[in-house]
Structure 1
Amino acid sequence: MHDPRPAPAPALVPAPHRVAVPADGGRLALDDRTVLDAGPGTEGTARWLRGTLGAATGLPLPPPGAAGADGRGGTALRLRLGGANAAGLGPEGYRLEVTAAGAAITAGGAAGAFWGAQTLRQLLGPDAFRRAPLPGRSWTLPHTVVEDAPRFPWRGFMLDVARHFTPKDGVLRWIDLLAAHKLNVLHLHLTDDQGWRLHIERFPRLTEVGAWRPRTRLGHRASPLWDERPHGGFYTHDDVREIVAYAAERHVAVVPEIDLPGHSQAAVAAYPYLGNTDAVDAAPQVWTDWGVSPHVLAPTERVLRFYEGVFEEVLELFPGEFVHIGGDECPRDQWRRSPAAQARAARLGLGGVDGLQAWFTRHFGRWLAERGRRLVGWDEILDGADAGGAPGPGAVVCSWRGYAGGVAAARAGHDVVMCPEQQVYLDHRQDAGEDEPVPIGYVRTLRDVHDFDPVPPALAGTEAAGHVLGAQANLWTEVVEDRRRAEYQVFPRLAAFAEVVWTQPGARGWEDFERRMADGHYARLDALGVEYRPPAGPLPWQRRPGVAGFPRQGPPPPA
């Protein structure tokens, strides 16, 4: 007897804009005769499908007309750009249709075709996320129509590789994990007080000295425990070129961050003249502790020329539009003790050393704009805007101290990426239980992240809301020492965040998200080998007994 009930919606994450599943429950079989017919502009997606999906399924997916691939009796996967089915989708939108006649992805642009392919992979089941085929598996797609496009153009994740270094292969893995969740920005935090991670040919001591620290505190800075092993590492130019090319194939932009004028102790350790030498007794070492270092850059022409040289190499390696300069947490104490800094502030007419950070920001904002790039910085780059026009033309503000900086920036006409600490800092603990490893910050549960909205009420419905490019989840790694620990902190919360930035608010709900995670997405993460936090709490080997954190009590303050 025919079952009139509709087939259940597939467990897609993030939730698409529209899904239609016919009641017949039909499925399209894929086998060795299945061909992959890629139209112009979809060649990159076809390479990815043959490499990634081909590895998981064992299917060759040859093009039509290839030897032994005449398609007789087989199915076809078709990739196309443009046409009537792509009308109104935008460059990242797609339509995926699976019928008895085959599967077709029609997209508004190359990125849309790739996101459609990611949805197709999810529809094949969790084993499509493995690196080799399992015995006895057959491959089918449910008859389905998916129409989809993202809510925001900036769907980001920040990985702090300065505090604990992530080797190149680990970065490539993160790119794949972002792409699997339709996230399209990887922000690499490359420099800080505890390490400099990018080789600069004209300033080799930045990595000879600045990339290594003699030991590392275990846990929060109140902890008495130390790892006495040296820690460090850096990326060569060719490493970066590989990372950027790998990401581009997956439609992920890599945004580099070179911190200034604060968070610069590793650079000053390598080249002491970058610091305020008249305000300190001796040059520092690369910092072994956590927190905010007092060692900031000196406001000299020599320092400007040094960092212009650094950024010249950065621009050659990272071809994208955006370059992050940090700009956060810059103490003024050394400038206040430095006669040279005081004299420079007076010559610039800044009314005191507090204006020096805005001076740094304006300089590099103009310098980058002259080269066709856009400065990105944490919301402190707004400091001094009233006095001197910081942060410069085309600057983008990453609002981390709540929503307020982003609201002010958007109202002033600046583009904004929302990443409030109270909402999407993934180094914050996921539960109040005592078994959470090295608990930092406020409790931010999976549901808390899913409830986050990048457009705050103060901007909703206003013209300024159009300046919200999207949002970004951040992982700071002071107490995140390796890949397993990082994946525990990030997942499954990154799946919830991906839904926030991809899916329109009316198309997502918490109970449905929980169902889709349970019905399919946890199994995908298992197949990928992701060491996520289980819903029931940390497994024994995910705990860190005896390593002190810094849990903050009560609900986080309003964003």
Structure 2
Amino acid sequence: MSELIPRPQVVRGAPGSYVVTAGALVTGPADLAAAVRRALPVLDLGYAGPAEPERTGAGTTQPANPPGSAHTAPRAAITVTPGENLAAEAYGVSVTAEGVRISAGGAAGALYAGQTLRQLLPPDAFRTAAPPGARWAIPCGEIEDAPRFSWRGAHLDVSRHFLPKREVLRLIDLLAVHKLNRLHLHLADDQGWRVESRAYPLLHEVGSHRARTTTTHHIGDEQRFDDTPHGGYYTLADLSEMGAYARDRGVTIVPEIDVPGHASAILAAYPHLGARPAAAHAVLDRWGISPAILSPLPETTAFLSAVFAEIIEALGTVPYFHIGGDECVLDDWAASAEITAHRASLGLDSPADLHAWFLRELADVLAGHGCRAVVWDEAFVSGALRLDTIVMPWRGMEVGRRAAAAGHDIVATPVFPLYFDYAEATSAEEPVAIGDAITVADVAAFEPAPASWTAREAARVLGAQFQLWTERIPDGRTLDYRAWPRGCALAQVAWSGDAAGFAEALPAHLARLDAYGVEYRPPAGPRPWQRGGTGDRRHRPGAVPVAEVMRHLSAMTHDAESTRPSIEPA
């Protein structure tokens, strides 16, 4: 029981084991039993119904089909019950020679109990079908567990490189395996719009594809292009499917439509919504930051309100909606007489004040749908956001501390060590990355709520998530390589609160990922077919050292003009 990732809060081992047979039954409330069964697909568990009491004599009752009964042993393989005084994601597991008993605070807790049982089984439990002769023995003992943080997530950018629905569903499964519960889905940026809109169909008809993509991966190199079209989008039905699939696995999808900057794809479809309505725009074919920016006028707010409503309706349950707010070049706002007049009518002193006002307007729209707005940290600097807006401090934890001190909840997302588009080693063997290096150990050492923060500031930390920006992640195989096992380390930090025992547990966990089919980066370095080679896909060590990036970003957060972009990407 010592090789679990993330590490449970309390583990008490005991002698012996219990052998679960394929097709064994789970008994308990339907929603809790379904969650346990979903976590253990290879066992093909059945459902025995609720564990109803039965009469044993005048005025007395006992559970029907008690564990250990020779008559009903299959029904007692796994019993799940609601746990009194347990939070929704908390659970307890007791394994004896007679069977498995689970107490769960809710469906999420039951799911996580099932995922823990899955890790207690041999690695073959992570296959889709059992190999011949598989024996499912669970070691005896007791586990009591609950997460430290409520937000344990991953960010996936599907704008720079579109990833098909199957990759999103697979990532959701892997998040659930690691007890990660948020998928921040970056649906729109300069390089592509990725969701159907019935209200504004040119968004997906025009904005979802670009004519070519840069093959220049290192900042400062001469631009080269592949002249190959790239694109794709999710239908609203796809989005509904992904939302339901995620909820069944304890994952909340957090959609992001990044505005008002990063707007090239939107303006390629609807140029009149831009700060320069007569300008022509195209979906961006290179990386970096574009000056393209939406107008902050009422027509733009109405447009975004309609699009937000479509996405919210499709996903079904959207407690959080990310509206970006980062890396905005405000020059076109300052140069526009109409926008300047609008700003003056609002009594605002500067384009930066208008930027904050615009985001607050959108947050008000989302609040009408029952959603909390989420923003990147540039949106916070003016201090004019709704107080319930969640801030993601990508430029470093110091700006996160300032947001927390101002009363905002935060989700830790700093470039170092949670931007997984950085290489895992300073080595030419690595595939191309924006810079180097962020290691598994770096992630494992991260503290989302630093000890130097006050108790009031630390209480504002909802959790943490790792970021998968996809300029240099063109497909699912590369996604696996970037995400794991660094994502395993973040899962432990966000759930358990620290990395104690992580390094010792990782080899056993990698065997589980092998069985699952995850093409992770091995701790010793890339496999031969994972290396960057000698062409455009090779990494150039030292091109962008992450330590230097963080020094630059730290300086930005103390700059009065910190809404102005200075670095690629975010």
Q: TM-score, normalised by structure 1?
A: 0.90
Output the amino acid matched with 2:353.
Answer: G
Task: After superposing the two structures, state which structure 1 stretch, 187-196 or 343-352, moved more.
Answer: 343-352
Is the CA contact 1:33–1:72 (under 8 Å) kept in the aligned structure 2?
no
CA-to-aligned-CA distance 1:387-422 (integer Å, 9 cap, x gap): xxx211411111111012211111111111111111
1:61 to 26, 46, 50: 46
Q: Distance in 2 between matches of 1:376 and 1:425?
A: 18
* Equivalent position of 2:547 in the other structure: 555
For residues 307 and 24 of structure 2, the distance between their equivalents in structure 1, rounded to whole angstroms, comes to 50
Aligned residue for 2:155, secondary structure, equals strand
Aligned match of 2:504: 515
CA distance in 2, matches of 1:43, 1:13: 23
What fraction of aligned residue pairs are identical, expressed as a percent?
43
Matched to 1:479, the amino acid is R
Take 2:157 and 2:546, find their aligned partners in 1: how far apart are those partners? 26
Whole-Å separation in 1 of the counterparts to 2:282 and 2:531: 32
- Does 1:468 pair with 2:456? no
| C-alpha separation in 1, matches of 2:259 and 2:362 | 10
2:161 and 2:545 map into 1 onto residues whose CA distance is: 26
Alignment partner of 1:186 out of 176, 183, 187? 183
Is 1:28 matched up with 2:18?
A: yes
Identify the match of residue 524 of structure 2 among 536, 541, 550.
536
**Other-structure match for 2:512:** 524
Give the whole-Å Cα distance in 2 for the aligned partners of 1:196 and 1:263.
11
Check if 1:284 corresponds to 2:278.
no
1:321 alignment partner AA? P
Per-residue Cα deviation, 1:329-388 (whole angstroms, up to 9, x for no partner):
001122233222222222222223232211211111122223322111101111322xxx
**Aligned AA (1:21):** G
Structure-2 change in CA distance of 1:79 and 1:259 (3 Å): farther
Structure 1 residue 64 displacement after superposition: 6.5
The answer to whether residue 202 in structure 2 is matched with residue 214 in structure 1 is no
In structure 2, the CA distance between the partners of 1:89 and 1:504, relative to structure 1 (3 Å rule), is farther
Moved more, 533-542 or 207-216: 533-542
Deviation at 1:321, TM superposition (A): 1.0
Residues 414 and 498 of structure 1: is their aligned pair in 2 closer, same or farther, counting only changes over 3 Å?
same
Is it true that 1:404 corresponds to 2:398 in the alignment?
yes
Secondary structure of 1:366's counterpart equals helix
Q: Give the direction of change, closer, same or farther, for the CA distance of 1:342–1:290 in structure 2 (3 Å limit).
A: same
CA distance in 1, matches of 2:126, 2:262: 39
Check conservation: 1:99, 1:144, Cα contact below 8 A: yes
The answer for the alignment partner of 2:563 in structure 1 is none
1:467-526 per-position Cα deviation (integer Å, ceiling 9, x unaligned): 111111111001110001111111110000000000033xx42xx2122111x2001111
Alpha carbons of structure 1 residues 554 and 199: separation in structure 2 relative to 1, 3 Å? closer
CA contact (8 A) 1:197 1:207 kept: yes
Q: Does 1:431 pair with 2:425?
A: yes
Instruction: Determine whether 1:330 maps to 2:328.
Output: yes
Change beyond 3 A, Cα 1:201–1:398: same
Distance 1:39 1:65 in 2: 5
Q: Which residue does the alignment assign to 1:172?
A: 169
The CA distance in 1 between the partners of 2:272 and 2:73, in whole Å, is 72
Q: Cα 1:330–1:355, aligned 2, differ >3 Å: closer, same or farther? A: same
2:158 aligns with one of 157, 161, 164: 161
SS at match of 2:246: helix
What secondary structure, in the 3-state scheme, does the structure 2 residue paired with 1:456 have?
Answer: coil
Secondary structure of 2:360's partner?
helix
Q: Contact 2:149/2:495 (CA < 8 Å) preserved in 1?
A: yes
AA of the residue aligned to 1:12:
L
Instruction: Tell me what 1:44 maps to.
Output: 34
The answer to whether the Cα contact below 8 Å between 2:37 and 2:46 also exists between their aligned partners in 1 is no
1:138 matched residue in structure 2: 135
| Structure 2: gaps of 5 or more residues | 52-68, 555-570
Aligned residue number for residue 447 of structure 2: 453
Q: Which runs of 5+ in 1 are unaligned?
A: 1-8
**Structure 1 residue corresponding to 2:492, chosen from 479, 493, 499:** 499
